[in-house]
Amino acid sequence: MIEESAKTNGHLRNGHTNGWHTNGHVTNGDHAVLSPQLFVLSSHDQDGISRLCNSYKGYLPSMSDSLSNLSFTLATKRSQFNWRAAIVADSVEGLQEALSAKQQITRVATGSGLALVFTGQGAQWARMGLGLMQYPVFRQSVELADTYLKTLGSTWSAICESTSSPPEYLWLIQ
């Protein structure tokens, strides 16, 4: 088995380096230090996150692959379920410690659906989305977005901005 500190990008190091690698490892001469990695845990149910933590705590001592590969696999190759937790660690020991701690588990909202974005940059013409306001579904969506933006502290209104006349200099450009 090859230790994490001896691997770089799937190859063994010979101890000679300029101090930097672009694959998430930094060396300080003879020892590679893994940069912080994100580990995404996902489960069908809230208690499943705790079960995953226990499974990975048992797996880590015998793991022969790199932490960056585990991080990549968890983030991109595993199914993403509604209950999730995220851990950041830069060593096996750090990951084991984090897995032993109580996780902040979040339930992901479902049914995100389709979103339309009007940049306001006049990609076609000023107020180009105004014609869609005649459709109740579109208008309700903009009203909901406007309400949500206000809860985030927005000082402007999506409805007012989409229906107001553009500045005069825009008319000159078009």
Is-contact 70 63, C-beta < 8 A?
Answer: yes
Backbone angles phi, psi at 90, to 5 degrees: -120, 10
| CATH number for the domain formed by residue range(s) 4-107 | 3.30.70.3290
DSSP 8-state class, residue 20: B
pLDDT at res. 28:
44
Tell me the C-alpha distance between 108 and 151, whole Å: 19
pTM listed for this prediction: 0.48
pLDDT more than 90, % of the chain: 41
Question: Is the model's pLDDT at 7 over the cut of 60?
Answer: no
Report the mean per-residue pLDDT for the chain.
77
Beta bridge partners of 106: 84
Residue 84 neighbours by CB under 8 Å, 6+ apart:
40, 41, 42, 43, 49, 105, 106, 107, 108
Interval 98-108: pLDDT, tens:
999 999 999 98
Backbone angles phi, psi at 167, to 5 degrees: -55, 150
Phi-psi region at 12: left, alpha or beta (left = phi > 0; alpha = psi -120 to 50) = beta
pLDDT for the residue 75: 93
| Span 74-81, average pLDDT | 92
Residues of the chain with CATH 3.30.70.3290: 4-107
Least confident of 1-10, 42-51, 133-142: 1-10
Write down the H helix ranges in 34-135. 46-59, 67-76, 92-100
